[in-house]
Amino acid sequence: MVARKWMATLGVVISTPALAQSLAAPSPGRPVSFVACPEFRNTARQCWLAESGGKTYYIGAFRIGTPPQLLHKVLVEGVAHDDQSSCGGINIDPVQISPLPELDFSCDAVLPDNGTAPREGSLFDLPPEVLARNGGDVPTPPPLTKNMAFAVTLDFDRTVLNLVNQAKVELIARTIMASPVARVIVTGHAGQSRLDDGSVMREAPEVAARRMAVVRDALIAIGVPEKIVDGRIADSLPEGSSVLGPESREVTIDVVLARP
């Protein structure tokens, strides 16, 4: 029930045109990609930070897909803005956080409140009329008028749909169900990420199949007819591929409309 309420509220915030574009265009700044222990600053708005290359970064954000966890390192990917500060750290926007599965008991830093706060608002800063819709049905999007490709980006080495991805998949499913669709092709990818130190983290190839299945099954569970959904697995990326970062581990959803 809680997940459903968050999905409904996120559905108000995430528009269908935004889905069509997948992710917002990156804003000016410098790309960063590193693995570090997250640090929790115990302020009223609960800040998450991480240190890399002698600098402290703010790694939490409203609508972040998966929050950091203590006792687990995180892969941080995004665009850093040295002229922007949040919670006493350099702001990263957009930011993708992937908690790594291995336990690391050195990742246990809880910092005291120092009076800082995030730059962005929280869910509860949304207008009352938006919050009032929390828990309501996700509105039906308009039907598609042409073939469309959507993408859902998953955390590194993970196949679970977080709350943001659940909301995105539900909107995609409702778009499909409102349209004259002949076929839906769901393709899973296994990706890689080049860190700032030049090393490359690569996902196991079998992740692609599990990702495809998770998204395919979610679409069907929401109401997309199983007979029109085709699951596929992309070839593994070759060594030295220029496709790196979050976009390399997407699940793509190609929607083919029926001919009139």
User: Using the 8-state DSSP alphabet, how is residue 175 labeled?
Assistant: H
Residue 22 pLDDT > 70, yes or no? no
Structural contact between residues 71 and 34, judged by C-beta atoms closer than 8 angstroms: no
Who's near 221: CB < 8 A, 6+ residues apart? none
In this prediction the pTM is 0.79
Both tokens of 192, joined, read: 């890689």
List of long-range contacts for 168-171, beta carbons under 8 Å, 24+ apart: 168/14, 168/19, 169/215, 169/218, 169/219, 169/222, 170/7, 170/11, 170/138, 170/222, 171/11, 171/14, 171/16, 171/19, 171/138, 171/141
pLDDT of 168-222, one tens digit each? 999 999 999 999 999 999 999 999 999 999 999 999 999 999 999 999 999 999 9
Confidence of residue 3 (pLDDT cuts 50, 70, 90): very low
Give the integer Cα–Cα distance in Å for 4 and 174: 15
pLDDT of 54-104, one tens digit each? 999 999 876 678 889 999 999 999 999 999 988 889 999 889 999 999 999
pLDDT of 216-251, one tens digit each? 999 999 999 999 999 999 988 777 677 788 889 999
Give the integer Cα–Cα distance in Å for 252 and 213: 12
What's the mean pLDDT when you consider all of the chain?
Answer: 84
Which CATH number fits the domain 140-257, given the four candidates 1.10.520.10, 3.40.50.1000, 3.30.1330.60, 3.40.50.2300? 3.30.1330.60
Q: State the greatest distance between any 2 C-alpha atoms of the chain, in Å, as a whole number.
A: 63
- In this structure, the number of other CB atoms found within 10 A of the CB of residue 1 comes to 6
Q: Any idea where the domains of the chain sit in the sequence?
A: 140-257
